[in-house]
Amino acid sequence: MLSRRTLLAASPGLLATAVATESISGRLPAAEGGGTGSFGLVIHSFMVRTAAERRRPPGDRFADPLRFLEHARNLGARGVQVGLGIRDEAGARVIRERAEAASMYLEGIAALPRDEADVDRFAAELRTARQAGASVVRTVMLSGRRYETFDSADAFRRFAASSEHSLRLAAPVAAREKILLAVENHKDWRADELLAILDRAGNDHVGVCLDTGNSVALLEDPMDVIDALAPRSFTTHFKDMGVEEYREGFLLSEVPLGTGILDLPRAVRTLRKARPGIRFNLEMITRDPLRVPCLTERYWATFPHLPGRHLARALSNVRDHPPAHPLPRIGGLPHDQQLRAEDDNVARCLAFAREHLRL
């Protein structure tokens, strides 16, 4: 077997070795919804807009659930995934009634409890979500990217232990509140690692928010990840990805649906077969490409045992799929042009989903 160090210095013509990923199925509760008309919007699809409003009072922000529901309804989306925070029962009921009046579904977003002292906060957020009509709440273990956050295997192991402790605190709360807690594959865990964490959690109310593109940054084939995680998924961050080589690895960007490397019809079929009630939530983040520096030593600090064939396969896939159009870049644009690009990308994705994916 080729070593990682050999591959780091490999020539561009190196052939990749295919890697099979086993799918782990489980008897999990079904999320409500699914089928035609189940395409919603994640608040993160509007990062440019929300970043500009962080200093406004919460109720005046675009990310306020009532404002975001109305915006999504005007765009023709059938639901939203958005942070709901902590509200009294009357406040949660207003959100629920607004969503029901628009025939839209609602999913929440909440951070895992950091420790025992934070469990009450987490429980209050899940209670608000339930009262507002959400059956699914998305969460994440790492807010950043594994290869940027940690510079040693020991640091990553400490994070892993802390994260699993947080999940053990969260799981019984989710079960008590009858919420499906969906852990996103967020450039932190490879698919087999996340499945092992869920198995150790041992709670049917804890599953996956399947992001269809994130794991490319961890040298995984996106379709292998979808095949592996679909049976354990409660909801999705649905996206397409563009890739492009650069000196230290490759660039990675969310791109409008149908213009990237994913086989989106197959992804929809796989998810619907595994989880007939699953919802598809668009996460089209308009930003400059992310650097995935997989040809540097630091990148590999948390992958001490990952075989080199994964690097070979990932680089081969990048070279086989050069972008047909330049990857999105908005960093140098005036704010109004950034907003326009963001809105255009979301509109293109919604149109593609309706016309080509029956979502």
- Residue 335 sits in a domain whose CATH number is 3.20.20.150
State the pLDDT at residue 1.
39
Number of domains in the chain: 1
Higher-confidence residue of 243 and 17: namely: 243
Q: Name the residue with tokens 């406004």.
A: 56
State the pLDDT at residue 55.
82
State the pLDDT at residue 218.
98
State the pLDDT at residue 146.
97
Alpha helix (H) residue ranges in the chain:
4-8, 47-51, 65-75, 89-101, 119-131, 146-149, 153-177, 191-201, 222-229, 264-274, 309-320, 335-356
Residue 131 has pLDDT above 50, yes or no: yes
State the pLDDT at residue 66.
97
Domain that holds residue 99: 4-356
State the pLDDT at residue 268.
97
What confidence category does residue 203 fall into, taking pLDDT thresholds of 50, 70 and 90? very high
Residues 6 or more apart whose CB falls under 8 angstroms from that of 34 comprise 272, 275, 276, 277, 278, 279
State the pLDDT at residue 318.
97
Percent residues over pLDDT 70 in the chain: 90
Query: Residue 230 and residue 23: Cα distance in Å, rounded?
Result: 8
Average pLDDT score, the chain: 90
Tens digits of per-residue pLDDT, 299-341? 999 999 999 999 999 999 999 999 988 999 999 999 999 999 9
Tens digits of per-residue pLDDT, 17-64? 232 233 333 334 444 444 456 799 999 999 999 998 888 888 889 999
Tens digits of per-residue pLDDT, 152-175? 999 999 999 999 999 999 999 999
Over range 256-261, report the average pLDDT.
97
Query: Nearest CA to 83 among 100, 70, 98, 95?
Result: 95
Query: Residue 17 and residue 309: Cα distance in Å, rounded?
Result: 6
Q: Are strands 249-255 and 240-246 parallel, antiparallel or unpaired?
A: antiparallel
State the pLDDT at residue 37.
60
What confidence category does residue 4 fall into, taking pLDDT thresholds of 50, 70 and 90? very low
